[in-house]
Every structure is written in structure tokens, then in C-alpha cells.
Amino acid sequence: MEKKKLVINCAICDARKPSENTLEKYEDISINSATVLVTPESEELLAQYPVNINSSDTISVPEKAPLQVVNGKLEIGADTVVSEGTVLVINGKVTVLSGGENNLKKYSHIIVNGKMLCPDSIDTSMGAISVNGKIETYPTGAIILKNNFVVDKLFVLRAKPATYWSNRFIFVDSEIESAALSAKGTAFFAKSAVVAESLAEGIVPMLNESCDIIIVPDKTAFVDKSLELNDAAVMRFGTKLFVADNLEISAESADALSKLEYLYVDGKVSLAESLQQAFYSLKAHCDDVSVVKDRKAAKITDKISVKIDKYLLEAHPEGIFVTDCVTVKIAKDVTPELIAERLSIEDCANVSCCEEQESALSLVCEDVANISTQEGEGIKGILGVVGSAFGELKDTKMINAAEYKL
């Protein structure tokens, strides 16, 4: 009987004790893995068989070392239970809390595919720690708080004589008593901070010198998310805004924009073409402004499949805007003139049409992966190609897993 091939696709492959029956069973074995665990003995055994390893990290560890795989977030603190010699693989973020340094030493190997946050006293360059991503440190002994931490009156009452760490602190609450914080010996360490003007004199001395400090007018509201500017947003947050994410200012935002006294946007601004003068007159603080044409069109969004025909376009003289859809099919009864006049398509995977419509569609499509004009192209065509490929792999056994033991 002819032997098959074996293809293993996984995040971590434990090849410390491979089965010889498995190795003998296949003509060829390919291991595609971010991390492969081996021992000197298993490496020698694998070399005797047609085994190809494609890996970012191939790590030699004891055969009986415990393996801990975490997909997501993990905190290592003073109370964390760790078995001596454990191999930790984390696909996500690991945070080493102050006091967790001793438990960290219990791991024989730590492989981080993502982000590591740890005290600055830890030597992350030592061989036991491998980070495929970003390493961020904080002052040893500091208390870690969530990102974009808003300091308020309650925090002041609970504050300890310690250093607090966050990526950004927000000091806009008028009831903050900076003198009380200073008297307790509280300090703050961050990449950046947003401080109300009246609080600056007391708060700034408590921040680290490398902190990027943004002084904002009193009564500025901090918005820790993307925001669409409208009357409801102004009623909720007020007329002075610090937006930590993206801001959308549509043609319908004119009234809300006219009410703003102060605006700071830390993300991208999507600005309606008709409101450019009003926006720039506000002298808003922002680095990335994208001007978009005013759209009063009917909006179709977040659909798997959409069909646009002549009846639909004629029923909407203001036009139709299609966005974030997988497949958009244009019926044959839609003329190129109607497409150019009433249709806009953006951020869609595939648009199918007839040849006469293609040139008109190229003018109204933005960020569209594929415009197909023949039967079998697009999603169906892609699936057909994939199906053919799998047909050719009939002599191959394929294993897809997060974790696999050989």
C-alpha cells in the first residue's frame, strides 16, 4: 500500500516523544508550527525520518516538563501557582505583576506570541524568555492599572503611597484633590497623560518626566472609544471633547459641530467634505483627517451577499452606498449610466457584473478586492480552485490544530 503524506499546521507542536509508528506510517511529514518542542533524543529520532520542520522556534526542553498553553491573557503574580520547570506558551498578552518575579523564574521556558508587560528589573534578554511581538516595562514595584485610566475622587480616597502605572492617565475630574494625593506620596508613571488646565499645577509634578502631557480645558470629557459626532453625543459628553479613538463627522453633524468649543482626536477623523471650513475653524487637535464626499445615499452594510438591480437603484434617486459586504452582484438590467450616477461600493470582497458594467464599477468602487466579469470568477471561482486543490491532496493527511502532540 502506498504511503500518504502528513502535513501538520499548528501553533505549537510537542515533538518531545514522537511515536515511531506515526513516523514510519507516512512517506513524508511536514510540521508547520510557530513553536516546536523537542529533546536531544527526539531530534535524533526525527532526523532518521523524512520530517521537515518549518518553525519560528524549535526549543529543546526536558521530556517531562509540564506544558502550559494560554490563548488570551495571563497574569503572573506572587500568588500564581507554577510547577517548577513548566514551559509556558502564550498566544496573547502576559503581564508580570510586581511580586511575581520569583514565580517567573519557575518557568524553564516562556514563549510569548504577542505582548509582554513586566517590571523593568527583569532581564527579558535571557534565553528562557522568547517574545515574538512587543515587550513593555514598568517601574518595579508599581501598581498596574488598566489602559486609559480615569483618576476620580474615589481613586483619591483609596490611593496608596505608591507608584501607579498605566499607558495613559486621565485627570479631568474637577473634584480631584491633588494636594491629598501628594500628601500620601502617590506617584504616576505613564506614556502619556491628559490633564485639565486647573489641575496641572498639582498633578504634573507627580508624573514621570518622560510622560507626554496634554493640557486640556476644564470640563473636557474623555471619550475612550470611537465616536460619531451628533446632537446625542454633545448632550452626553458636552462641548469639549477628547476622543481617544476615531471620530466620524458626517454631513448630518453640522449642528453638533457648531456647538463644540474644544476638540482633541487621538485617532482618525472622517470628515464630510461640506464641513471642512467649520471643522478647521474649530482648530481641533488631530493628526489624521480623511475628507469624504457627503453621502445622503441609502446604506447597505455588513451583508454576506447583496444584489443590486435596476428597480433598487431607480427606487433610490439619492443613491445607494454598499459597504463591508462579502459579495455584491450587479444585475444585468443595470446600465453603466445608472451605476455611475447612483451607486457607491466600498470595503467589499467581491463585486460580480457583466463586461458592459465593469468600467463604470471601477469608478464607483473603493477598497474592493475583486471585480469579476465572468461566470465562475469571484467567490464561486475561488471555492472552485480551493476544491480542486483539495482534490489534488487526496494522498495527503492534513491536521490543523492549535496544539498537536506528535
- At a CB cut-off of 8 Å and minimum separation 6, what does 343 contact? 308, 313, 319, 320, 322, 364
pTM strictly above 0.75:
no
Hey, CA dihedral for 75, 79, 80, 86, is it positive or negative?
A: positive
Mean per-residue pLDDT over the chain, rounded = 88
Nearest to 239 by CA among 217, 215, 220: 220
306 band by pLDDT with thresholds 50, 70 and 90:
very high
The answer on pLDDT for 44 being more than 70 is yes
Q: Which residue has the cell 488646565?
A: 197
Closest to 166 measured CA to CA, from 222, 218, 220, 246 = 222
Least confident of 200-209, 243-252, 395-404: 395-404
| pLDDT one-digit tens code per residue, 330-358 | 999 999 999 998 998 988 888 999 999 99
pLDDT at site 381: 46
The partner residues of 144 in beta bridges, in order of sequence, read 165
pLDDT tier for residue 294 given thresholds of 50, 70 and 90:
low
β-pairing verdict for 134-138 and 107-119 = parallel
Percent pLDDT > 70 in the chain is 93
Cα 56 to Cα 1, 6, 11, 135, distances in angstroms: 35, 20, 10, 18
Please report where in the chains the cell 467634505 appears, as a residue.
Answer: 273
pLDDT band at 377 (very low <50, low <70, confident <90, very high): very low
| pLDDT tens per residue, range 3-37 | 788 899 988 889 999 888 888 888 899 999 888 99
Note the pLDDT tens digit of each residue in 164-198: 999 999 999 999 999 999 999 999 999 999 999 99
In this prediction, residue 404 carries a pLDDT of: 87
